[in-house]
Amino acid sequence: MPFGTDSRYLIEAVGLGKVYQRGNEKVVALRNVSLSVESGEFAVIIGPSGSGKSTLLHILGGIDRPSTGELHATGVDLVAASDATLTRFRRDNIGFVFQFYNLLPSFNALDNVILPLLAKGMGWKASRARGEAILEQVGLDHRQKHTPGQLSGGEQQRVAIARAMVLEPCFILADEPTGDLDSASANSIIALMMDLNKRLGVTFIVATHNLNLLKVASRSYELVDGRLKTAPTG
């Protein structure tokens, strides 16, 4: 079967390498990384700071391009894709969740969640209805009108997860989603992601320092100095 045509996999990557050029210096961030992710998985990538986790997530999400290797995601060849195709790929297929939530501070929770729908041209009423339903799925239907400054860190991350889900992406990439939270809030965000994965079938790829995530992963990897290996089980 030709590479990238196996419909079992949302993501197939073989031999990914990434070299950053910093002045005269070359920084090798990824070396010969191969991985596959199926729909419905909860994949977790651990590894020390600087090991390449964010670099890998950015490449899988079409934010950045690999220097070498092959990569297909949702049937799109991300190495050959034009910039316009990458932009469309990101918008239509991926939800992103970041360590510091990246919510718009002057918009309330519901408006933050529905912005991607409005930007895509969905009407106001339908967008609101969908946003309210998603906020309910993340346990925040009682906080719709609160701005990020009026929400706890854990609640802000719930809003960010709702926003990532609102366009029904093929998968969600989460970079240190619990990194800014105390351990109780972190555990509740882990429980939420697990619940969305099990109940709604949302596929997650999570980069983290939080070893509790290894316990719930369907597939786990460790990055060490840009090389990917199977992680020791949590």
Ligand X SMILES: Nc1ncnc2c1ncn2[C@@H]1O[C@H](COP(=O)(O)OP(=O)(O)OP(=O)(O)O)[C@@H](O)[C@H]1O
* Interaction site with ligand X (CB under 6 A): 20, 22, 27, 29, 47, 49-55
Indicate the residue among 28 and 191 with the shorter CB distance to ligand X: 28
Which of ligand X, Mg ion, none sits in contact with 163, Cβ below 5 to 8 A by type?
A: none
Strand-pair partners of 18: 30
Q: Which of 219, 188, 169 is nearest to 41 (CA)?
A: 219
Q: What does 29 bind: Mg ion, ligand X, none (CB cut-off 5 to 8 Å by kind)?
A: ligand X
Question: Beta strands 76-77 and 204-208: pairing type?
Answer: unpaired
Which residues of this protein are in contact with Mg ion, per CB under 5 A? Answer: 53-54
Quick one: 112 or 220, whose CB is closer to ligand X? 220
User: What are the φ/ψ torsions at residue 16 (nearest 5 degrees)?
Assistant: -70, 135
Concatenated DSSP letters of 202-218: --EEEEES-THHHHH-S
Residue 46's binding partner among Mg ion, ligand X, none (Cβ under 5 to 8 angstroms by kind) is: none
In the chain, alpha helices (H): 53-60, 83-93, 109-119, 124-137, 153-165, 183-200, 212-216
How far apart are CB 146 and ligand X at their closest, in Å? 29
**Shortest spacing between CB 219 and ligand X, in angstroms:** 18
Maximum C-alpha span of the chain: 54
* Cβ proximity to ligand X, 51 vs 185, nearer residue: 51
Provide the minimum distance between the beta carbon of 54 and ligand X in the complex, in angstroms, as a whole number: 3
Q: Identify what 22 binds: Mg ion, ligand X, none; CB under 5 to 8 Å per kind.
A: ligand X
Of the pair 9, 221, the CB lying nearest Mg ion is at: 221
Find, among 34, 21, 99, 23, the residue nearest to 60 by Cα: 34
Q: Which is nearer to ligand X, 20 or 124 (CB)?
A: 20
100 binds, among Mg ion, ligand X, none (CB under 5 to 8 A by kind): none
Alpha carbon distances (Å) from 227 to 16, 30, 45, 72: 10, 6, 11, 19
